Homo-oligomer: A and B are copies of this chain.
Amino acid sequence: MNGAPPVERVPKQDRSRATRQRLLEAAVACLAEHGWAGSTVSVVAERAGVSRGAAQHHFPTREDLFTAAVEYVAEERSTALRDLFPDGPTDRHAVVAALVDLYTGPLFRAALHLWVAASNEEQLRPRVTELEARVGRETHRIAVELLNADETRPGARETVQGLLDMSRGLGLANLLTDDKARRERVVAQWSEILDGVLG
Protein backbone atom coordinates (compact mmCIF):
# COMPACT_ATOMS: atom_id res chain seq x y z
CA MET A 1 0.00 0.00 0.00
CA ASN A 2 1.29 3.42 -0.87
CA GLY A 3 0.05 6.57 0.90
CA ALA A 4 -1.60 8.25 -2.12
CA PRO A 5 -5.37 8.75 -1.81
CA PRO A 6 -7.47 6.77 -4.28
CA VAL A 7 -8.24 8.68 -7.46
CA GLU A 8 -11.88 9.85 -7.37
CA ARG A 9 -13.32 8.42 -10.52
CA VAL A 10 -17.00 7.88 -11.20
CA PRO A 11 -17.33 5.13 -13.81
CA LYS A 12 -19.56 5.97 -16.77
CA GLN A 13 -22.03 3.28 -15.81
CA ASP A 14 -22.47 4.74 -12.32
CA ARG A 15 -22.98 8.23 -13.70
CA SER A 16 -25.66 6.89 -16.00
CA ARG A 17 -27.35 5.14 -13.09
CA ALA A 18 -27.25 8.32 -11.02
CA THR A 19 -28.81 10.32 -13.88
CA ARG A 20 -31.55 7.74 -14.23
CA GLN A 21 -32.29 7.91 -10.52
CA ARG A 22 -32.39 11.73 -10.51
CA LEU A 23 -34.89 11.60 -13.39
CA LEU A 24 -37.07 9.06 -11.60
CA GLU A 25 -37.11 11.06 -8.37
CA ALA A 26 -37.92 14.27 -10.25
CA ALA A 27 -40.73 12.49 -12.14
CA VAL A 28 -42.39 11.30 -8.93
CA ALA A 29 -42.15 14.74 -7.30
CA CYS A 30 -43.52 16.33 -10.46
CA LEU A 31 -46.45 13.94 -10.75
CA ALA A 32 -47.34 14.38 -7.07
CA GLU A 33 -47.20 18.17 -7.30
CA HIS A 34 -48.53 18.98 -10.76
CA GLY A 35 -50.48 15.91 -11.86
CA TRP A 36 -50.26 14.11 -15.18
CA ALA A 37 -51.22 17.09 -17.34
CA GLY A 38 -48.34 19.15 -15.89
CA SER A 39 -45.75 16.40 -16.09
CA THR A 40 -43.81 16.17 -19.35
CA VAL A 41 -40.33 14.77 -20.03
CA SER A 42 -39.04 18.36 -20.51
CA VAL A 43 -40.39 19.55 -17.17
CA VAL A 44 -38.91 16.53 -15.39
CA ALA A 45 -35.54 16.86 -17.16
CA GLU A 46 -35.30 20.49 -16.10
CA ARG A 47 -36.19 19.68 -12.50
CA ALA A 48 -33.53 16.93 -12.47
CA GLY A 49 -30.91 19.22 -14.04
CA VAL A 50 -30.51 16.84 -16.99
CA SER A 51 -30.62 17.72 -20.70
CA ARG A 52 -33.75 16.77 -22.62
CA GLY A 53 -31.64 14.52 -24.89
CA ALA A 54 -30.12 12.65 -21.95
CA ALA A 55 -33.59 12.22 -20.46
CA GLN A 56 -34.89 10.75 -23.72
CA HIS A 57 -31.88 8.44 -23.93
CA HIS A 58 -33.02 6.86 -20.65
CA PHE A 59 -36.75 7.10 -21.29
CA PRO A 60 -37.85 7.33 -24.93
CA THR A 61 -41.48 8.17 -24.02
CA ARG A 62 -43.36 9.97 -21.29
CA GLU A 63 -45.11 6.67 -20.44
CA ASP A 64 -41.74 4.92 -20.01
CA LEU A 65 -40.56 7.63 -17.64
CA PHE A 66 -43.61 7.71 -15.41
CA THR A 67 -44.30 4.01 -15.09
CA ALA A 68 -40.58 3.49 -14.29
CA ALA A 69 -40.75 6.30 -11.73
CA VAL A 70 -43.71 4.92 -9.83
CA GLU A 71 -42.22 1.42 -9.93
CA TYR A 72 -38.88 2.73 -8.65
CA VAL A 73 -40.40 4.43 -5.63
CA ALA A 74 -42.73 1.52 -4.95
CA GLU A 75 -39.64 -0.68 -4.67
CA GLU A 76 -37.94 1.89 -2.46
CA ARG A 77 -40.94 1.84 -0.17
CA SER A 78 -41.06 -1.97 0.02
CA THR A 79 -37.42 -1.92 1.05
CA ALA A 80 -38.10 0.82 3.59
CA LEU A 81 -40.99 -1.19 5.02
CA ARG A 82 -38.85 -4.31 5.44
CA ASP A 83 -36.05 -2.28 6.99
CA LEU A 84 -38.45 -0.86 9.58
CA PHE A 85 -38.77 -4.31 11.12
CA PRO A 86 -35.40 -6.02 10.52
CA ASP A 87 -36.07 -8.62 13.23
CA GLY A 88 -39.29 -9.78 11.57
CA PRO A 89 -42.83 -9.55 12.90
CA THR A 90 -43.39 -7.13 15.74
CA ASP A 91 -46.54 -5.78 17.38
CA ARG A 92 -49.42 -5.48 14.97
CA HIS A 93 -50.29 -1.88 15.72
CA ALA A 94 -46.82 -0.77 14.57
CA VAL A 95 -47.08 -2.88 11.42
CA VAL A 96 -50.56 -1.56 10.55
CA ALA A 97 -49.37 2.03 11.10
CA ALA A 98 -46.34 1.42 8.84
CA LEU A 99 -48.50 -0.18 6.12
CA VAL A 100 -50.94 2.74 6.21
CA ASP A 101 -48.02 5.18 6.02
CA LEU A 102 -47.12 3.60 2.65
CA TYR A 103 -50.30 5.16 1.28
CA THR A 104 -49.79 8.71 2.43
CA GLY A 105 -46.94 10.86 1.18
CA PRO A 106 -45.61 11.60 -2.31
CA LEU A 107 -45.42 8.03 -3.67
CA PHE A 108 -49.11 7.42 -3.21
CA ARG A 109 -49.98 10.85 -4.61
CA ALA A 110 -47.86 10.18 -7.67
CA ALA A 111 -49.33 6.71 -8.15
CA LEU A 112 -52.84 8.08 -7.74
CA HIS A 113 -52.27 10.67 -10.47
CA LEU A 114 -50.92 7.93 -12.71
CA TRP A 115 -53.91 5.61 -12.06
CA VAL A 116 -56.42 8.34 -12.78
CA ALA A 117 -54.56 9.38 -15.95
CA ALA A 118 -54.28 5.74 -17.04
CA SER A 119 -58.03 5.24 -16.61
CA ASN A 120 -58.57 7.69 -19.49
CA GLU A 121 -55.46 7.13 -21.62
CA GLU A 122 -55.32 3.88 -23.54
CA GLN A 123 -51.57 4.26 -24.14
CA LEU A 124 -50.82 4.33 -20.44
CA ARG A 125 -53.39 1.91 -19.12
CA PRO A 126 -51.93 -1.59 -19.81
CA ARG A 127 -48.52 -0.75 -18.35
CA VAL A 128 -49.89 0.95 -15.27
CA THR A 129 -52.35 -1.90 -14.70
CA GLU A 130 -49.58 -4.49 -14.93
CA LEU A 131 -47.33 -2.47 -12.64
CA GLU A 132 -50.10 -1.98 -10.11
CA ALA A 133 -50.86 -5.73 -10.03
CA ARG A 134 -47.19 -6.48 -9.38
CA VAL A 135 -46.78 -3.85 -6.66
CA GLY A 136 -50.05 -5.03 -5.09
CA ARG A 137 -48.86 -8.66 -4.88
CA GLU A 138 -45.52 -7.61 -3.38
CA THR A 139 -47.22 -5.41 -0.78
CA HIS A 140 -49.64 -8.20 0.11
CA ARG A 141 -46.77 -10.64 0.57
CA ILE A 142 -44.86 -8.26 2.86
CA ALA A 143 -48.05 -7.48 4.80
CA VAL A 144 -48.83 -11.17 5.41
CA GLU A 145 -45.29 -11.76 6.65
CA LEU A 146 -45.12 -8.72 8.92
CA LEU A 147 -48.60 -9.28 10.34
CA ASN A 148 -47.67 -12.91 10.98
CA ALA A 149 -50.91 -13.96 9.30
CA ASP A 150 -51.52 -17.68 8.69
CA GLU A 151 -53.00 -17.70 5.18
CA THR A 152 -54.06 -21.33 5.51
CA ARG A 153 -56.76 -20.13 7.95
CA PRO A 154 -60.04 -19.36 6.16
CA GLY A 155 -60.55 -15.64 5.71
CA ALA A 156 -57.00 -14.61 6.67
CA ARG A 157 -56.11 -13.69 3.09
CA GLU A 158 -59.21 -11.51 2.65
CA THR A 159 -58.64 -9.91 6.06
CA VAL A 160 -55.20 -8.70 4.99
CA GLN A 161 -56.53 -7.59 1.58
CA GLY A 162 -59.27 -5.56 3.28
CA LEU A 163 -56.66 -3.91 5.48
CA LEU A 164 -54.64 -2.88 2.41
CA ASP A 165 -57.83 -1.59 0.74
CA MET A 166 -58.48 0.44 3.89
CA SER A 167 -54.94 1.82 3.74
CA ARG A 168 -55.51 2.91 0.15
CA GLY A 169 -58.78 4.57 1.16
CA LEU A 170 -57.06 6.37 4.04
CA GLY A 171 -54.44 7.64 1.60
CA LEU A 172 -57.19 8.99 -0.61
CA ALA A 173 -58.87 10.70 2.35
CA ASN A 174 -55.57 12.44 3.01
CA LEU A 175 -55.33 13.89 -0.51
CA LEU A 176 -57.25 17.11 0.13
CA THR A 177 -56.95 17.58 3.89
CA ASP A 178 -54.53 16.56 6.60
CA ASP A 179 -56.37 13.56 7.96
CA LYS A 180 -53.67 12.40 10.41
CA ALA A 181 -55.61 12.63 13.70
CA ARG A 182 -58.62 10.72 12.43
CA ARG A 183 -56.39 8.21 10.65
CA GLU A 184 -54.50 7.40 13.86
CA ARG A 185 -57.77 6.59 15.66
CA VAL A 186 -58.92 4.34 12.81
CA VAL A 187 -55.53 2.59 12.75
CA ALA A 188 -55.65 2.00 16.53
CA GLN A 189 -59.13 0.50 16.36
CA TRP A 190 -58.49 -1.67 13.29
CA SER A 191 -55.20 -2.95 14.73
CA GLU A 192 -57.16 -4.23 17.70
CA ILE A 193 -59.75 -5.83 15.41
CA LEU A 194 -56.97 -7.53 13.39
CA ASP A 195 -55.37 -8.87 16.54
CA GLY A 196 -58.64 -10.56 17.41
CA VAL A 197 -59.17 -11.96 13.91
CA LEU A 198 -55.62 -13.10 13.06
CA GLY A 199 -55.03 -14.56 16.52
Contact = CB atoms under 8 A, between A and B. Distances in A.
A186 B125 CA distance: 25
Interface in A107-147: 109, 112-113, 115-120, 125, 128-129, 132-133
A118 B167 contact: no
Contact of A189 (B125, B155, B171): B155
A3 interface: no
A124 to B, nearest CB: 10
Q: How large is the interface on A (under 10, 10 to 19, 20 to 34, 35 or more residues)?
A: 35 or more
A40 to B, nearest CB: 14
Nearest to A132: B176
A170 interface: yes
Interface stretch (A12-20, A29-37, A66-74, A79-87): A29-37
Given A119-B175, A165-B170, A192 B155 contact: yes
A162 interface: yes
Contacts of A113: 116
A28 to B, nearest CB: 15
Nearest to A103: B169
Contacts of A152: none
21 contacts: A35-B116, A35-B119, A112-B172, A115-B172, A115-B176, A128-B176, A132-B176, A158-B185, A158-B186, A158-B189, A162-B166, A162-B190, A164-B169, A165-B169, A166-B166, A166-B169, A167-B169, A169-B170, A169-B172, A172-B172, A193-B193
